[in-house]
Amino acid sequence: MDGKAVDLEGLRRGIAELERQIDAVRRIAVSLSTVTEVEELVREALNTSLALAQSEAGSILLYDPAKQKLVFEYVVGEKADELTGIELELDQGLAGAVFQGGETVVSEDVSTERAHLRELGEKVGYTTRNMVTVPLMSAETEPLGVMQVLNKRGGQFDEYDVKLIEIIAAQIAAAITTARLHEEARLAAVVRFIGNISHDVKNMISPPMIGAQTLEMVANDCFRKFDECVRSHGQPGDQTADLASSMAALRELYPEIVEMILEGCDVVQQRVAQIAAAVKGRVSEPHFESAAIVSIAQRVGNMLSHQAQRKGVTLTIEAARELPPAMVDGKQIYNAVYNLILNAIDACDEGDTVTLRCDSVEDGEFPTGNCLIMECTDTGPGIPDQVKARLFTDEAISTKPMGTGLGTRIVKDVVDAHAGTIEVESEVGVGTTIRCRIPLGRAGDGADAKS
């Protein structure tokens, strides 16, 4: 009888745990049908895992192929803010071991685990007692990252807890894989669409470019004939003098107009190409040459001044002093400055100001020294925290209707291509400052880069 009673009790426990697992799957399934963003889904799944496994904290580390590191992407618990974004080498900690080994590790006492990264807990001030580390794998067994559930309340993780965590981890991995596939398909469609637009834009801007070039030739010929006519009549009279004065004004104005048309057409083509590259997640290799940054900024300011005026926004380009030339890709820097100023103008309302300040620090080492500084400040509405957190990342979002966030990605790509840095300061209701620092000289250029 005792043996049968023990078996019955075990059966009851097994049924209870099976019900708990089914409930976990049900909860995740509900989330899959109601949550629209993978970030929300993963966070909800992680919370569900902690609740059902009666644990204090948990985290999901995803593999970043570009950096070849594991990154704390999602963290739940009292130290979430400190841990989120921390990067680990692939051979660091239990997370690295499980990621590379592909097998779940249950740590009943992490203090006895040689692979446990104790210094990380000490850094954020959190003590881990026990932990389950589960690999996140795609359907094709491609490692995506790991999931860790920490500190079981009131005891140790048992086999039922581990099975439950593995089930939820599999759901999370499937959600991440599906989201990535959808994103890849969406980007492929966008790239094809932009390719078509690029072709159409090239066809559409050819007539104004040809027209501007023709106008320049005709105007030059007209001015030449006018000068010959004036000379042939000897001393000009009042009417001739008035006509010559009017022609002088036109002669001074038309080259600027022609240049604006041609440069505008060229910028449009570059802009479309830059957007296509940003959507694909890459920027063309920079062609470094000595360039005057203030001159580039002023050209952008001239191009966007009319747009600022239409919105009633005051646009100012400032230089702290005469700046040394910097080794940069002039076209890419033009695109970055263009997007910085354009985004600021778009964010502002009538009466606001946008100021681009250029400066440099020639002494010291980058990033505090030996750097060019481009600082775009506006008095617009400021950036909400949830938007600022994604700014200059692949997950950048726009607060503008129909906005894509590509402008900030273009800026980030250009700054990255120049081995620079970006800082963002913003306060809702006050305004925003975006500060880009770029090395004045390239590695190996020596003093020539600054001369």
Q: What is the pLDDT of residues 396-451, one digit of tens each?
A: 555 554 344 567 877 888 898 898 999 999 988 899 999 999 988 754 444 343 33
Decide: residue 108, CB within 10 A, 0-12 exposed, 13-18 middle, 19+ buried: middle
Which pLDDT does position 394 carry in this prediction? 59
Local confidence band at 35 (pLDDT 50, 70, 90 cut-offs) = very low
Domain ranges in the chain are 186-263, 289-450
Most confident among 19-23, 122-126, 440-444 (mean pLDDT): 122-126
Is the pLDDT at 31 greater than 70? The verdict is no
User: Is the N-terminal amide bond of 236 cis, ω within 30° of 0?
Assistant: no
The answer to whether 374 and 356 have CB atoms below 8 angstroms apart is yes
Of the ranges 32-36, 138-142, 403-407, the best mean pLDDT one: 138-142
What was the pLDDT predicted at 213?
A: 82
Least confident of 27-41, 249-263, 286-300, 336-350: 27-41
| Closest alpha carbon to 151 in 76, 72, 81 | 76
- Which structure tokens are listed for 371? 């750097």
H or E segment to which residue 434 belongs: strand 431-439
User: 253: pLDDT confidence band, cut at 50, 70 and 90?
Assistant: confident
Written as one string, the DSSP assignment of 244-286 is HHHHHHHHHHHHHHHHHHHHHHHHHHHHHHHHHHHHHT--PPP
Interval 25-34 mean pLDDT: 56
Task: Give CA separation, 61 vs 86, 122, 135, in Å.
Answer: 9, 19, 10
Strands 55-64, 143-152: pairing is antiparallel
How much of the chain is helix, strand and coil, in % rounded to 5?
Answer: 55, 20, 25
Average the pLDDT over each of 3-12, 56-65, 356-365 and give the range with the smallest value. Answer: 3-12
pLDDT for residue 446: 42
Measure CA 28 to chain center: 30
Contact 359, 375 (CB under 8 A): yes
Distance CA 355, CA 358 (A): 10
Q: Each residue of 160-179: pLDDT tens digit?
A: 888 888 888 887 888 788 77
Query: Percent of the chain at pLDDT above 70?
Result: 80
Contacts of 138 (CB under 8 A, 6+ apart): 144, 173, 177
* Side chain identity, residue 254: Y
Give the mean pLDDT of 82-111.
90
Report the 3 state secondary structure along 307-322: HHHHHCCEEEEEECCC
pLDDT tens per residue, range 202-242: 777 777 878 888 888 888 888 888 888 777 766 656 666 77
In CATH terms, the fold of domain 289-450 is Heat Shock Protein 90 (3.30.565)
Position 278 scores a pLDDT of: 59
Residue 274's pLDDT is what? 63
Q: Are 79 and 125 in contact (CB under 8 A)?
A: yes
* CA nearest neighbour of 105 among 139, 68, 149: 149
Look at the alpha carbons of 33, 38, 41, 45 in this order and tell me if their dihedral is positive or negative: positive
Tens-digit pLDDT profile for residues 89-101: 998 889 999 999 9
The C-alpha atoms of residue 37 and residue 40 are separated, in whole angstroms, by 5
